[in-house]
Amino acid sequence: MFMFISKRFLQLIPVFLGATLLVYFLVFATPGDPIAALSGGKPMAPAVEEALRAQYNLDQPFWIQYGLYLKSLVTFDLGQTFSGQEVSDVLGRAFPVTARLAIMALAFEAVFGVIFGVIAGMRKGKLFDSTVLVASLIVIAVPTFVLGFVLQFFVGVKLDWAKPTVGVGAPWGDLILPAAVLGLVSLAYVIRLTRTSIIENKNADYVRTATAKGLSRRRVVSVHILRNSLIPVVTFLGADLGSLMGGAIVTEGIFNVPGVGNLLFKAIKAGETPTVVAVVGVLVLIFVLANLVVDLLYAWLDPRIRYV
C-alpha cells in the first residue's frame, strides 16, 4: 500500500511537466495578439508594444519561453499577470473560494444523488423513479445558465432567502445556492449511476442471504446493496471534483464568485499564459490526488480489490 501511494506521488512529476508543457503550447498557439488586445483597440506606441512583449517574454520562440517559465518555477515564481500582479497571489485568492464551492457542490451531489438514486433504484418503475427521471432530464436539457439564473432570481431576489450574489470573502452561507446549481448536472449522473447499480445488485445472492439472515431492510440496503453499488459513483465523483474546480465558469459568473473558473476563462481570453499554466498545473495535481483517493476507496468498498 505504501509503495502504491508513493509511486503515485512520483507520477506527479511527469504529469505536472507534461500538463504545463502542453497547456503552455496551447496558449502559445491560440490565435490573436494579447498585446494588441491590451490596448483595447486603440493605438499603442510601437516602443511600448515592444517593451510589453519583452516583459512577458512574448518576443521569444516557444521553447525559450517555456524554458524561462520552468526556470522561474524552480524558484517558486509563477510569473505575473498582465495587470502586474503575482500569479501566485491571484491563485492564492481564487483557489480557496473555488475549493469551498467545489466541496459543497460535491457534498450536495453525493448526498442527494445517492439518496435519490437508492430510492429510485429500489422502487424501479414507480412514481418516484419516473419523477426523478423527468427532473434529471430538465437539468440535462436546460443549460446551467438558465437554471442558475432562474434560481437566483427566485431565491435571491423574489423570496430574498439568500443574497443574489456571493459577498466579500465568499462565506460558506453565500455559497449554498451556487453550489447547488453547480452540482445539479452532476446530480443527474450520480442519481442514474446509483439507481442502475442498485438495480443490478438488489437481486444479488448476498442480498438474499442477508435478508434471509433476518437483517432489517434498512441494513440490507445501506450496508449490503449500497456499499457494493458505490464503485461507479465514487469513480464519477472523484473525476467530477476536478471539473467542479476548473469548469465552474458559468456558475461563478452568475453568482459572481471570484473563483478559478472565471480566472481561467479571463486568462484564456486575454492569452495570459502564466495564469493559465499555473491554474492547469494545480488542477492536474488535484486530479491525480483525487484519483488516488478514489483508488484507495475501491479497496475499501470491495475487499477483493487489492493494491501492491
Partner 1 sequence: MRFNRASKALVLSAALALTLSACGGGDGGAGASSGGDATKAISANTTEPESGLLPADTNEVGGGRIMDLIFTGLVSYGADGKPVNELAESIETKDAQNYTIKIKAGQKFSNGDPVTAKSFVDAWNFGAAAKNAQKNSYFFESIKGYDKVSAKGATVETMEGLKVVDDTTFTVELSRKESDFPLRLGYTAFFPLPAAAFADPKAFGQNPAGNGPYKLAENGWQHNVQIQLVPNPDYSGPRKPANGGVDFKIYANTEAAYQDLLGNNLDVLDQIPPSSLKNFADELKGRSLNQPYAGNATLTISDYLPQFAGEAGKLRRQAISMSIDRQQIIDKIFFGNKKIATDFTSPVIDGFSDAIPGHEVLTFDAEKAKELWKQADALQAWDNSKPFTIAYNVDGAGNKEYVDAAVNQIKNTLGIAAEPKAYATFKELRAAVNNKEMTGAHRTGWQADYPSLYNFLGPLYGTGAGSNDGNYSSKEFDAKLAEGLSATSVEEGNKIFNASQEILFKDLPVIPLWYQAAQGGWSENVDNVKFAWNGVPMYYSITAK
Partner 2 sequence: MSENPTPEIIEPSDGARNTRRTGKVSSRTIEHYVAPLEETPLLAVDFVDETAEPQSMWSQAWRSLRKRPLFIISAFLILLVIVVAAFPQLFSHVDPTACRLDDSSETARAGHPLGFTLQGCDVYSRIIYGARASFLVGLFTTIIVVVFGGVVGALAGYYGGWLDAVLARLGDIFFALPLILGAIIVMQLPAFRDNRSVWTVIITLAAFGWPQMARITRGAVIEARGADFVTASRALGLSKFRALVNHVIPNSLSPVIVIATISLGTYIVAEATLSFLGIGLPPEIMSWGNDISNAQTQLRNNPETLMWPALALSITVLSFIMLGDAVRDALDPKARKG
Among 5, 10, 36, 138, binds partner 1 (CB under 8 A): 36
The one of partner 2, partner 1, none whose footprint includes residue 247, by CB under 5 to 8 A per kind, is partner 2
Cβ–Cβ under 8 Å, residues 70 and 26: no
Specify the stretch interacting with partner 2 by CB under 8 A; choose among 96-104, 105-113, 158-166, 294-302.
294-302
203 binds partner 2 (CB under 8 A): yes
Give the contact letters, 166-185, x = binds to partner 2 (CB under 8 A), - = no.
Answer: -------------------x
Give the contact letters, 96-135, x = binds to partner 1 (CB under 8 A), - = no.
Answer: ---------------xx--xx-xx--x-------------
C-alpha cell at 8: 503515485
Name residues contacting partner 1, limited to 218-257 (CB under 8 A).
218, 221, 252-256
Which has the closest alpha carbon to 17: 93, 74, 84?
74
Cβ–Cβ under 8 Å, residues 55 and 243: no
Min dist CB 131 to partner 2, Å, is 13
Name residues contacting partner 2, limited to 108-167 (CB under 8 A).
133, 136-138, 140-143, 145-146, 149
The one of partner 1, partner 2, none whose footprint includes residue 192, by CB under 5 to 8 A per kind, is partner 2
Q: Using CA atoms, how far apart are residues 247 and 240, in angstroms rounded to an integer? A: 10
Specify the stretch interacting with partner 2 by CB under 8 A; choose among 72-80, 160-168, 171-179, 261-269.
261-269
Q: How many residues lie near partner 1 (CB under 8 A)?
A: 73
- The region, left, alpha or beta by phi > 0 then psi within -120 to 50, assigned to residue 31 is beta
The one of partner 1, partner 2, none whose footprint includes residue 15, by CB under 5 to 8 A per kind, is partner 2
Q: Using CA atoms, how far apart are residues 138 and 307, in angstroms rounded to an integer? A: 41
In sequence order, the 6+-apart residues with CB closer than 8 A to the CB of 184 are 109, 139, 144, 147
In sequence order, the 6+-apart residues with CB closer than 8 A to the CB of 44 are 35, 36, 38
Q: How far apart are the first and last CA of the chain?
A: 6
Min dist CB 9 to partner 2, Å, is 12
Give the contact letters, 199-218, x = binds to partner 1 (CB under 8 A), - = no.
Answer: -----------------xxx
Min dist CB 106 to partner 1, Å, is 15
Among 58, 176, 204, 270, binds partner 2 (CB under 8 A): 204
Which residue's CB is nearer to partner 2, number 174 or number 240?
Answer: 240
Beta bridge partners of 80: 86
Q: Using CA atoms, how far apart are residues 180 and 110, in angstroms rounded to an integer? A: 11
155 binds partner 1 (CB under 8 A): yes
Which residue's CB is nearer to partner 2, number 183 or number 247?
Answer: 247
Write the CA distances from 246 to 38, 86, 123, 182, 276, integer angstroms: 25, 20, 36, 12, 11
Q: Is 80 helix (H, G, I), strand (E, B) or coil?
A: strand
Q: Using CA atoms, how far apart are residues 235 and 286, in angstroms rounded to an integer? A: 15
Min dist CB 66 to partner 1, Å, is 21
